[in-house]
Structure 1
Amino acid sequence: MGKGKNLLMTEVLKHVTFGQPDMRTWIFSSVDNCHYNYNSRYLFEYVKEKVKEVTPYFVINDERLRKELSDRYGEDYFIETNTAAGIKKVLSAGVWFTSAGLPVYGTKLKKDRLIINLWHGVPLKKIALMDPNLNKWSRLYFKKIFSENYSCIVTTSQSLVPVMARSFCVPEKKIKIWGQPRNDRIFAHTDRAAYLEKIYGKLPEYDTSVLYAPTFRDYGPTRLFPFSDYDKAALEEFLEKNKMLLFIRTHIKEKSAANAYLTERVRYLGEEMAEDVTGVLGIFDQLITDYSSIYIDYLLTGKPLIFLPYDKEKYLEGRGMNFNYDEVTPGPKPETMGEFLGEIKAFKDGKDAWEKERKRVNEILNQVTHPCCEEICSHVLNAAREMEKRGHRRDKER
């Protein structure tokens, strides 16, 4: 079902679905209601295991994925909103969480319920209504269907409150510094060898792993290893000598572009292997990126960063940034292959000239530096109880 049809059905059904929404039924959703990822996934999994007074559901409209998840976690947890019955089920719930969009589309949906936007990262780049590429009609749709429906929007630090408020055109009081549920996994131990072996089988001997995660460009393909002196054989020799593995993670649309760079020690780690890599960032010893906000999550590990902003002027001109790029990217920016390998080797050898800068930026962007799922649930449960009481009072007054 398309968003337009879903909106029309929701507008009709919300008027024929009577009764106070159940504040102990929580709905979770993510991108286009077809993905099991981002903050919604991690909070859902926490609620399912830890918050026994709540019944959680996750909206998955992709039938194949819904069956796969039902087989893994139990069929009672995964629902659809492609039918009137599915939409009614969502409308009967008193709490909704999303990382992008909504579980159903409509206007004035937050009446008698809580709709919490967990979002899916720190807005280093301009997002939502601040995106200069958004046209007038898209802005109007976004405000009516999304911004006006959110009870609150979650972020990670005080410095981001005005940014998020402007991005969603909501009062600053609606922005809550509660952290990102997906980052709870960063603070938990993941067995690196077991995780990687499950994906790749036997790997060459290594003691250091590096993740290379460039961002997606709207205007053209991403240049991997953007050095005029790039040498595939030299990189492989360097990695072998230093017992390192390097994992490339591009946008799913650019998967084939990585093939030319793959070797025994340069592997591809795509979405089909790890849909949301944030939860396992802790297994990597270094991160290489350009403009992706993944590095802000990685700051929580305290480990080194390398940046390759080879097209900075063009990228910033097209999308824009909420911060001065150079002031919030605490890591070297090598321009040649030699410099690049030198920085990786220096970090491996413990020669870290950027540690203080990483701490400074982390304090600006990551105010929540501990697991946050429990606290988020506590906030929402308290708000749900208050809303429930108000509903009961209204019923008595009728």
Structure 2
Amino acid sequence: MRVLKLIGNLFLLPLYLFSLIVPRNKKLWVMGSWFGNRYSDSSRYVFEYITENEPDIRAIWLTRQKNIVRGLRSKNLEAYSIYSLKGYWYSCRASVAMFTVNITDVNTIGSSKALKFQLWHGIPLKKIVYDDNYNNPINKTGLVRSLSQIKSFLLPFKDVYGKWDAVASTSPLVSNIFKSAFQLPENKIFITGTPRGDIILDKEPDKPSVLKINPLDLPIEKKICYFPTHRNDAKALSDFINSINLSNLPDFLEKHNTILYIKLHYYNLANHTHRIDTPRVVLLNENDESDINYLLPWTDVLITDYSSVYFDYLLLNRPIIFTPFDLNEYMSKDRELYGEYELLTPGSKCNTWNEVTGELTKLFSGNDEHYEIRTKMKEEYHTFSDTRNSERVVGVVKSLLNQ
């Protein structure tokens, strides 16, 4: 099967070579997100900023999902399938390709010679790309690495790592992480702030439709969100979530008129097997809300484990509770971290839902013990705390194109 796939990709090589000679248009930019499968994250926010504020730039969204193409076109936004002739042609003509994971977010074959701007998907707690010793094929040795190098030689448009021309950062501290993770010099990393911040700090955010749904007409005074990171094996996470039924958390939520929203990482959504008995715990799927950044402004307390979402939530400086119930196993099998977990996480650590309930009891009584450390970390990780990050990203790209 892999041999057939390789042979099939070889037939794409002429299309790649053609893309190298097509003249690029500085006013044409293509964008995508999450391997072309989602309309979300920082590239979405930059895309929408451009369509609303930059009439001289033609922004095009590329995706592998037909429903995303239809949805954007219904809003008079320009979108094409990555696989379509237009998707390929506009990738060849675009001077800029922007993404949140890698070049496979857009059309890999056509975008290879565009200015590739990496927006990334958050401030990393977990080691990423070149620093990730567990999941990155770049760091493999022996036969695997040799085969990867041969593949890159035969199929240069498939070489998705280490080919970024610029990266958006949020602070000098984060820039140092990105220098190592992306193996880039300092002059290719730009402190613009994360476009996610524009959504999180919006003074008049649109209320997500899922938050308007209340079929049982429950009184709701506070909203809590639990956003755990992805795992290679999510069974332990499923067991942890299901243990809510055996804890005192449901009674606490009922007593305080509170709703707990749970959204698993995009990678693990398809395989979850959770059964929660109380209507005050809502399990969200991709159709409910594909982009958790729109939920953060409405969240009174965030609960997470190793997800970088808490770095974004620092912009609001609201309470965070951490649940590292499988920390040792996670670090030995899934990812290493950029430092000691205890020092990098500004909040109480809980291994059971009863412990979470105890921390929520303190917070709801006004006892926020971690406000000062959150404030300090916010300053360290976010140079900007405004809603002009997308604007700064566009400004950087314009300056690079004019060099």
TM-score interval for Structure 1 and Structure 2 normalised by the shorter chain: 0.7 to 0.9
> For the structure 1 residues 4 and 160, does the alpha-carbon distance in structure 2 shift closer, same or farther, using more than 3 Å as the test?
farther
| 2:174 aligned with 1:157 | no
Please give the residue correspondences for 1:172-321 in structure 2 after superposition, counting only pairs within 5 Å. Answer: 172-189=186-203, 195-201=209-215, 203-223=217-237, 226=240, 231-232=245-246, 234-252=248-266, 253-254=268-269, 257=272, 259-318=274-333, 319-321=335-337
Q: Match of 1:34? A: 37
| 2:130 aligned with 1:114 | no
Q: Match of 1:52? A: 55
Give the stretch that moved more between structures: 177-186 or 303-312: 177-186
> For the structure 1 residues 203 and 15, does the alpha-carbon distance in structure 2 shift closer, same or farther, using more than 3 Å as the test?
same
> How far apart are 1:264 and its partner, in Å?
1.2
> For the structure 1 residues 142 and 38, does the alpha-carbon distance in structure 2 shift closer, same or farther, using more than 3 Å as the test?
farther
One-letter amino acid matched to 2:316:
T
CA-atom RMSD in angstroms = 2.9
> How far apart are 1:335 and its partner, in Å?
3.3
> How far apart are 1:258 and its partner, in Å?
5.6
> How far apart are 1:183 and its partner, in Å?
1.7
One-letter amino acid matched to 2:278:
T
Distance 1:202 1:50 in 2: 41
Q: TM-score, normalised by structure 2?
A: 0.85
Please give the residue correspondences for 1:131-146 in structure 2 after superposition, counting only pairs within 5 Å. Answer: 131-133=132-134, 134-135=136-137, 136=140, 137=145, 140=149, 145-146=159-160
> For the structure 1 residues 201 and 6, does the alpha-carbon distance in structure 2 shift closer, same or farther, using more than 3 Å as the test?
farther
Q: Match of 2:19? A: 14
Check conservation: 1:190, 1:280, Cα contact below 8 A. Answer: no
> For the structure 1 residues 7 and 260, does the alpha-carbon distance in structure 2 shift closer, same or farther, using more than 3 Å as the test?
same
Check conservation: 2:200, 2:297, Cα contact below 8 A. Answer: yes
> For the structure 1 residues 15 and 282, does the alpha-carbon distance in structure 2 shift closer, same or farther, using more than 3 Å as the test?
closer
> How far apart are 1:315 and its partner, in Å?
0.9
Q: TM-score, normalised by structure 1?
A: 0.86
Distance 1:228 1:93 in 2: 48
> How far apart are 1:58 and its partner, in Å?
0.4
Check conservation: 2:98, 2:118, Cα contact below 8 A. Answer: yes
> How far apart are 1:55 and its partner, in Å?
0.9
Q: Match of 1:367? A: 383
> How far apart are 1:188 and its partner, in Å?
1.0
Deviations 1:122-173 (A, max 9, x none): 1110111222122334875789633453210112111122221221222222
Deviations 1:42-83 (A, max 9, x none): 110111111111111000122232122222x22x51022314
Distance 2:11 2:189 in 1: 28
Distance 2:341 2:152 in 1: 27
Distance 1:366 1:6 in 2: 45
> For the structure 1 residues 125 and 4, does the alpha-carbon distance in structure 2 shift closer, same or farther, using more than 3 Å as the test?
farther
Distance 1:222 1:229 in 2: 11
> How far apart are 1:341 and its partner, in Å?
0.9
Give the stretch that moved more between structures: 368-377 or 280-289: 368-377
| 2:381 aligned with 1:381 | no
Distance 1:23 1:52 in 2: 13
Check conservation: 2:60, 2:79, Cα contact below 8 A. Answer: yes
Check conservation: 1:214, 1:222, Cα contact below 8 A. Answer: no
Q: Match of 1:393? A: none
Give the stretch that moved more between structures: 175-184 or 144-153: 144-153
Distance 1:58 1:48 in 2: 11
Structure 2 unaligned regions, length at least 5: none
Check conservation: 2:324, 2:350, Cα contact below 8 A. Answer: no
Q: Match of 2:369? A: 353
Distance 1:320 1:35 in 2: 27
> For the structure 1 residues 15 and 280, does the alpha-carbon distance in structure 2 shift closer, same or farther, using more than 3 Å as the test?
same
Aligned-pair identity in percent equals 26
Secondary structure of the 1:223 match is helix
| 2:364 aligned with 1:344 | no
Check conservation: 1:161, 1:175, Cα contact below 8 A. Answer: yes
Distance 1:191 1:152 in 2: 29
Secondary structure of the 2:349 match is coil
Structure 1 unaligned regions, length at least 5: 388-398
Check conservation: 2:247, 2:353, Cα contact below 8 A. Answer: no
